[in-house]
Chains A and B, each alone.
Chain A
Amino acid sequence: MRADEELMAAYLAGDIAAFDELFRRYAGLLLRTLRRSLGRDDACDVVQQTFLQLHRSRHDYRPGAAVRPWIFTIALNLQRRHLRDARRRPLPLDDEAAAAPAVAARDITDDLPRYVRGAVARLPREQQRVIALHWFDGLPFQRVAETVGASLGAVKVRAHRGYLALRKIFEKEPHDGR
């Protein structure tokens, strides 16, 4: 399997199939990540916008630079805008959003109990992202760091603080498991 960076270099050289492969590699992951905070339609729109911006910015790409943080930074910037424009909470977890049909039926967040999603939504946004990628997507800290564009140490600190805060929330507000 070709590395992301090879695919990006190939796309810059005019290989359209390389762009398609990058899209297929990241679209599902982006949709799962975005659907935690956006509805299905908005998440799909942000994924489209992300790859359109990737195309428009292709000549800014420096050969060899990591592609994954590039894609995720675009997506997360667009996500922030969507949330702001829609005047939504950082992680709206209302019943309607949770009940929306999933692009991927195996979308992990749909399986999470409401009290977990509600608790994560109360964390600072930086901690939400790290915990979402580490806990929900099961990414190792190194990949999380690459994805959010932060150092490994910073990501571990955010995760540690986030998990501590979650533990406090769960201890303070007992739930019935739903």
Chain B
Amino acid sequence: MAADDADDGEQDRDTERLLAAVRARIAAERGPAAWLRSRPTPQRVGLIVHALTVAVLLTIWFGARPDLAAYPMHRMALALGSYAVCLLLAIDQLLRPLHVRRDRAAGLVLGATIALPWALALLPAAVRTRAVSGAGHDDCVLVGLVAGGLLMLLLRVLDRDTGGRRLRLPLMGAAAGLFANLVLMFHCPIDRTPHLLAAHATSGLVLTLLALAAMSARALRGGPESL
């Protein structure tokens, strides 16, 4: 009887200690980043979609490909549609809150996100209504890295759980690469396979490798992720 009372007392003390620790962590959840993280998930996804749309519009405004009007619409629709669907699925996975049960399709989304830019790069070049020079478009990797970096930053800020889902960082890198390719669709008129592979798809590869490097560093340190 006395032993049971002592056990109850010990458990109560442990619970109160844990509660105090949780309260302290919650008290530290302040500032704009914490506020953004705590928005309902549809709002967080919406925020990213809006920010990416603005980034695409800015690309069109300041650096649109010269053949935009001459580029076949069906080809543009195919590429944009597949990029947009894949990107939305990836963002949905990345911002999935922990109270939602694990989605077993996460690996599939990662595979599609990585493969899509490479698959589209292998399509034959589109036939335009007028010839356009690709001269002066040697900044594709840079533009791609900036666009992808923006998405990574947004995901980092809006993610509530940076503690290390297995596929999180590779998917984040691949999604950033996908967005880089989407932006480059509006920026670069060159659609020959060697250029698409070397300059466009490479942006995605670099971002994915960066994410994998961050994951490896985390695994070596045994600490939280750096991205």
Contact = CB atoms under 8 A, between A and B. Distances in A.
Given A52-B25, A52-B26, A55-B29, A78 B18 contact: no
A81 B166 CA distance: 8
A60 B14 contact: no
Interface in A63-90: 70-71, 73-74, 77-78, 80-81, 84-85
A178 interface: no
Interface residues of A, number: 35
Contact of A59 (B6, B15, B39): B39
A81 B18 contact: no
Given A24-B15, A105-B11, A53 B22 contact: no
Nearest to A59: B40
A103 interface: yes
B57 interface: no
Contacts of A105: 6-7, 10-11
A104 B163 contact: no
Contact of B38 (A44, A56, A73, A78): A56
A57 B102 contact: no
Given A58-B38, A81-B166, 7 more contacts: A23-B15, A48-B18, A53-B161, A56-B38, A60-B40, A73-B98, A81-B165
7 contacts: A20-B19, A23-B19, A24-B15, A47-B18, A71-B99, A78-B163, A81-B165
Interface of B: 4, 6-7, 10-11, 14-15, 18-19, 21-22, 25-26, 29, 37-41, 97-102, 160-161, 163-166
Q: 9 closest Cβ contacts across the A-B interface? A: A105-B7, A56-B160, A104-B11, A74-B98, A70-B99, A59-B40, A51-B22, A57-B97, A103-B14
